[in-house]
Every structure is written in structure tokens, then in C-alpha cells.
């Protein structure tokens, strides 16, 4: 989608500043250093000491059995050491792939992959969001307890009074991606994400996918992903459907972004439009819609 709308660009920049906390991990329980290179969070000695103290007050159970491994709070989220906790839940093996910085876990009915510093983990072909990413503490990978539990087929409840995270098994591991995702939905959503946001960050790609799904769920637009992308009711909605870019094969990150969107990750719940104000030629959106935020080259509007 295109618009000139430069007169509202700075207003959108201000909105972006207000929204940046949605996308940036800001420790509540402890201080941490964030490395821009790979987004890996490295805990300082002071931080680890403080978190070790706090973790003593944490109680973690799975089907009533106490987990005695390492855990701590980060951004009000309980993190557990992935090797220890996966073994605790019944993993058959945990392998560290040094070349890619990936922990590969196998259990009955489950193949799980977690890359150091990643914002998601892969489980049976599913892509599961980790808002603050995985944490690498001196070679030990920590992940949010709710995310790894969902992969193993456990639900988690939190008791603030007793500071207890209690996991309860559903009797089976997570449903596979081949059974969960609609292949056409992944195909077209990943293609429009790639065509519109190939050079953007993962968050920028997710935001573009959010706009498509927000439209699908709105009475103002068609009720299918394909219908939204190729909508012509008020003129061309997405330029890639005209220049042919929609038919290009998406890269891996665009597919991941599409799957995360289909898993329900929505960082732009009110956005129905996005534009690149630097290259756009039509100002209708910026003149008539409220700017929410800016991610990369895209401004997002309600």
C-alpha cells in the first residue's frame, strides 16, 4: 500500500516512541545486557546473584512433582533451564548444535528446537512466540516455562501468593504444524509478508501479517487471507498483487512470521493499514486514518 502522507510522518514517529515498550524487553526483576548482534540476553554476575536469590522463592511443579532445577523471573516471566526442565518433563535427549547455537530436544511425540537469542521456538513444525526471547546464561539456555510446557502438552497456572508455577499435563504433546496450519493460509500470508517486508525485522514482518489478519477479521474486508490480499473493492490494496511480487517464494523468516501470526501473535491488534511514507504516492491513509506506530520503513494505521 502506498501513500505520501509525509505531513503526518513525525506524528507517527511520536506514536512509535510510545509503543516501543511493546517490542523491547525491559527487565523488571533484574538488569540485563542486550546484545544487538543476535538479541541474546547475557546475565551479569550481579544479575545472576540477585536472580538466584529470587529463584529460591519460586516453586515449580509438573503434575505435582517438584522441579528442583534452575529457574528465575525475568519481566514477570518464569524462565527455566531448558535442558533440566525438558529432561524433567520426560525428554529422551537434549542435543546442543554448536554450529547454529540451537538446542534440539526429542521426546515421545515431540521434536523441539530453540536457538539462542531467538524470539520463538519450533515444536513439531509449530512456531511458538517468546516475547522476551530465550536467555543464554554462560552457555545455559533458559526459556519461558509456559512456552516449553505448551510444546510438551502442559498447561501452566500461576499462584502469586505462593509464587508457584504448576504445570498440568494434557496427556499428549503439541499438535503438529501439518495438522494445525492451513497450508493455503501459510502460503499466501508468508508471500504477502515477504513481498511487502522482505527487508524488515521479524517484528516488522509480523506487523504486516497482523494487518492482513486484522482485515480478514473485519467486516470491512473479505473474510479470507487470499480475499484480503487480492481485494479490489476500493482499488488495488497491495501493490505486490499487481507487480507480480506476490508470486515470489518467501524466505524462511517470512514463513516464520506467517506461522507466528497464525498462532495468534498480534503486536498490531488495531492496525488495518500500513504504508511506506518515504516512497508512497497517495496520502489517503495518512490523511484519514490514525497512525499507531512505525516499525522499520512502515507506518501502521488504525
Q: What is the pLDDT of residue 43?
A: 54
DSSP 235: B
For residue 2, pLDDT over 50 is answered with no
3-state secondary structure 147-160: HHHHHHCEEEEEEC
For residues 107 and 86, give the distance between their C-alpha atoms in angstroms, rounded to a whole number.
9
Q: Is 93 exposed, middle or buried (0-12, 13-18, 19+ CB in 10 A)?
A: exposed
DSSP designation for 233: B
32, pLDDT greater than 70:
no
Task: Indicate the pLDDT class of residue 38, thresholds 50, 70 and 90.
Answer: very low
Binned at pLDDT 50, 70 and 90, residue 279 comes out as confident
Beta bridge partners of 72: 79
In this prediction, residues 102-128 reach a mean pLDDT of 97
- Over residues 281-286, the mean pLDDT reads 81
Confidence band, pLDDT 50/70/90 cuts, at residue 45: low
Q: HSE, CB side, 13 Å, CA atoms: give it for residue 11.
A: 12
Per-residue pLDDT of 55-112, as tens digits, reads 556 999 999 999 999 999 998 899 999 999 999 999 999 999 999 999 999 999 999 9
Question: How would you classify residue 246: left for phi > 0, otherwise alpha for psi between -120 and 50, otherwise beta?
Answer: alpha
CA distances from 2 to 5, 234, 237, 246, 260 (A): 9, 14, 9, 16, 25
SS3 at position 139: coil
Residue 210 near residue 269 (C-beta atoms within 8 A): yes
> Is the pLDDT reported for residue 122 higher than 70?
yes
Residue 280: what pLDDT? 76
Instruction: Give tens-digit pLDDT for 170-193.
Output: 999 999 999 999 999 999 999 999
For 235, phi then psi, to 5°, come to 90, 180
Rounded Cα gap, residues 51 and 189, in angstroms: 40
Query: Cβ(270)–Cβ(211) under 8 Å?
Result: no
Note the pLDDT of residue 139: 83
Task: Name the average pLDDT for the chain.
Answer: 85
**Domains of the chain, each with CATH number or no CATH:** 6-24+180-301 (1.10.10.2520), 33-175 (3.30.457.10)
CA distance 131 to 144: 9
56 versus 250: the higher-pLDDT residue is 250
Each residue's pLDDT tens digit, 209-230: 999 999 999 999 999 999 999 9
Three-class DSSP category at 117: coil
CA distance 152 to 114: 14
Runs of H (alpha helix) within the chain? 9-19, 45-55, 82-88, 145-152, 177-180, 183-197, 202-216, 225-229, 240-243, 252-262, 284-288
Check residue 33 and give its pLDDT.
26
Lowest mean pLDDT among 32-36, 133-137, 189-193: 32-36
pTM of the shown model: 0.82
Report the candidate in 34, 254, 262 with the shortest Cα–Cα distance to residue 128: 262
Q: 17-31, pLDDT tens digit by residue?
A: 444 444 433 322 222
Amino acid at each position: 500500500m502506498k501513500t505520501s502522507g509525509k505531513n503526518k510522518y513525525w506524528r507517527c514517529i511520536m506514536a512509535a516512541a510510545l509503543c516501543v515498550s511493546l517490542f523491547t524487553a525491559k527487565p523488571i526483576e533484574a538488569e540485563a545486557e542486550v546484545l544487538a548482534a543476535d538479541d541474546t540476553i547475557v546475565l551479569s554476575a550481579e544479575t545472576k546473584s540477585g536472580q538466584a536469590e529470587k529463584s529460591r522463592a519460586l516453586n515449580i511443579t509438573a503434575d505435582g512433582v517438584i522441579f528442583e532445577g534452575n529457574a528465575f523471573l525475568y519481566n514477570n516471566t518464569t524462565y527455566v533451564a531448558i535442558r533440566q526442565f525438558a529432561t524433567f518433563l520426560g525428554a529422551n535427549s537434549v542435543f546442543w548444535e554448536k554450529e547454529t547455537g540451537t538446542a534440539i530436544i526429542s521426546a515421545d511425540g515431540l521434536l523441539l528446537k530453540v536457538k539462542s537469542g531467538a524470539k520463538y521456538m519450533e515444536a513439531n513444525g509449530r512456531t511458538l512466540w517468546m516475547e522476551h526471547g530465550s536467555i543464554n546464561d554462560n552457555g545455559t539456555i533458559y526459556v519461558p516455562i509456559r512456552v516449553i510446557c505448551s510444546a510438551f502438552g502442559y498447561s501452566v497456572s500461576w499462584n502469586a501468593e505462593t509464587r508457584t508455577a504448576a504445570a498440568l499435563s494434557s496427556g499428549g504433546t503439541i499438535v503438529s504444524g501439518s495438522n494445525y496450519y492451513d497450508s493455503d493460509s501459510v502460503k499466501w500470508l508468508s508471500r504477502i509478508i515477504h513481498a511487502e517486508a522482505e527487508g524488515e525485522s521479524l517484528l516488522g514482518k509480523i506487523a504486516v501479517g497482523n494487518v492482513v489478519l486484522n482485515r480478514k477479521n473485519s467486516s470491512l474486508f473479505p473474510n479470507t487471507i487470499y480475499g484480503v490480499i487480492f481485494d479490489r473493492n476500493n482499488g488495488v490494496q497491495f501493490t505486490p498483487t499487481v507487480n507480480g511480487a506476490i508470486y515470489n517464494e518467501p524466505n524462511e523468516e517470512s514463513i516464520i512470521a506467517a506461522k507466528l501470526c497464525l498462532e495468534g501473535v498480534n503486536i498490531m491488534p488495531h492496525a488495518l493499514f500500513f504504508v511506506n511514507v518515504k516512497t508512497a504516492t497517495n496520502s489517503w491513509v495518512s490523511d484519514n486514518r490514525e497512525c499507531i506506530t512505525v516499525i522499520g520503513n512502515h507506518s501502521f494505521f488504525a
